[in-house]
Structure 1
Amino acid sequence: MITTNEYGQPIGCPVPDWSPAALPKATILSGRYCTLELIDVDRHADDLYAAYAAAPDDRDWTYLPVGPFRTPESYRAWADVAAKSDDPRHYAVIDNATCRALGTLSLMRHDPINRVIEVGYVVFSRSLQRTPISTEAQYLLMSYVLNELGYRRYEWKCDNLNEPSRKAAERLGFTYEGTFRQATVYKGRNRDTAWFALTDRDWPRVRHAFELWLDPRNFDSDGRQLEVLHTR
């Protein structure tokens, strides 16, 4: 909605009773298939390294500013730094069936004044990818941010060449907003950054789609989905 001021100029719609949101503080977010726990080196690092090391190649690290990690010690060193960071705030994804950490994701670029925050550093092992756990992990974090903390904009950014990440963002209900050319340099190469966002206006529709998809009745006896995730 666009309104006009006393000069006839178009201006954004008013946001009454505006106040900043709280910074994320949750240490545990629990779901049916997984639990998100603030990353802890002693509890999670060994499981995470083992899950990542099981991959036959390093392609999952191509578009990340960190990794791949060649030894458990090198990963633990990174995880130690990550565990001490408030922004990004890293969470380990725990499989409720095995109690093992299989991946991480984070909340980053916190802007509570404008109620904007980004999900990033999504590092899901091969055993986590394309599972109900991977989808629920994303749902738990966005629900915490949009429902509990009251943010109005939830962002996803990736290398514009990272087609799997772009497809994941769209599947999860984010809207593509454009590409920032020559936005950063990482691992010695240029990155044009694709921007996606999910707003609080989008969230009721997207939340309903997640809840339908995550219902146990949407999976057969082998754990295969019966209906795809419809967030549009």
Structure 2
Amino acid sequence: MTQVPSVAESIDQPIGDIVPNWTPSLHPLSQTHPLQGQYCRLELLNSQTSDTIIQQLFDAFKPTEQTHFTYVAYGPFTTTDEFKEFIKSKELPSSGTVLYCILVNDIAVGFISFLRINQQNGSIEIGNVSFSEKLLRTRAATEANFLMLQYAFDILGYRRLEWKCNALNAKSCRAALRLGYQYECTWIKAEVCKGRSRDNAWFSIIDDEWAVLKPEFQRWLNSNNFDSNGQQLTKLNSAQINPRSHNVG
């Protein structure tokens, strides 16, 4: 990125860096799908999704539905038709959401999405992260996030990836940090969610950091990093190697 003086000489005020040759980022739906990894595949989740996949997702969350949806605005779903209505609502242009189903060995085990899609400024959020017990704490779970990050930064050209969660959702906060997101702030009383006050914790990864984080994801996801029982030999060190982590706090 071209550097310019931090102070405009004529007005003696700090200003940001020039972004040379900037063009708006691409919309996620503008490119070919699905997103294919070593351990999972991400396919668009919409009204065209088969009833088989919808049923698999519905069944995957059923055992833990009373606790799984505590911190989010949707769910639990009492019927597959109700779940379909949720999916259909996310197709509306006003929702600003692109949902993906996560499949492992062709079985649907979770979903994830892009939202807050700001093409003009190159900012996008990864959210609606719903991993069933079949997906949690697996290589595929990490890879699903990696595929989203890689797609947004390398193919679509975004400058900033956001992660927002209920500030009381400790698991989501820990997940963001493990993946290399940096904590930015908490918005107090940001929402009323299911009749309760909700504070939102915000995290982000920016394009400069992705250049360092991407090789670490690739290293960790390599099959050589896992033993015959599928246990990791080394941890994902994204939280430690992110350049910004040394300047926080």
TM-score by length of 1: 0.94
1:12 partner SS: coil
Aligned-residue offset at 1:156? 0.2
| 1:179 maps to 2:149 | no
Structure 1: which amino acid aligns with 2:39?
Answer: Y
**RMSD, aligned CA:** 1.5
Q: What is the distance in 1 between the residues matched to 2:88 and 2:16?
A: 44
Aligned-residue offset at 1:169? 0.3
Runs of 4 or more, structure 1, over 4 Å off, are: 83-86
| 1:61 maps to 2:102 | no
Structure 1: which amino acid aligns with 2:136?
Answer: Q
Question: How many pairs were matched up?
Answer: 229
User: Aligned residue for 2:234?
Assistant: 227
Structure 1 unaligned runs (5+)?
A: none
Structure 1: which amino acid aligns with 2:187?
Answer: F
Going from structure 1 to structure 2, the CA distance change for 1:228 and 1:139 (only over 3 Å counts) comes to same
TM-score by length of 2: 0.88
Contact 2:185 2:203 in 1 (8 A): yes
Which stretch of the first structure deviates more once superposed, 2-11 or 12-21?
Answer: 2-11
Which has the larger helix fraction?
Answer: 2
Which stretch of the first structure deviates more once superposed, 135-144 or 63-72?
Answer: 63-72
Structure 1: which amino acid aligns with 2:57?
Answer: L
Aligned-residue offset at 1:208? 1.1
Which stretch of the first structure deviates more once superposed, 9-18 or 28-37?
Answer: 9-18
Structure 1: which amino acid aligns with 2:66?
Answer: D
Q: How do residues 109-128 of structure 1 correspond to structure 2 at under 5 angstroms?
A: 109-128=116-135
> Cα deviations across residues 83-120 of structure 1 (Å, max 9, x unaligned)?
5567210000010x3x1110000000110000000001
Q: What is the distance in 1 between the residues matched to 2:184 and 2:86?
A: 32
1:211 partner SS: helix
Structure 2 unaligned runs (5+)?
A: 241-249
Q: Which of 25, 30, 38 is the matching residue for 1:21?
A: 25
Aligned-residue offset at 1:80? 3.3
| 1:8 maps to 2:17 | no
- % identity of equivalent residues: 39
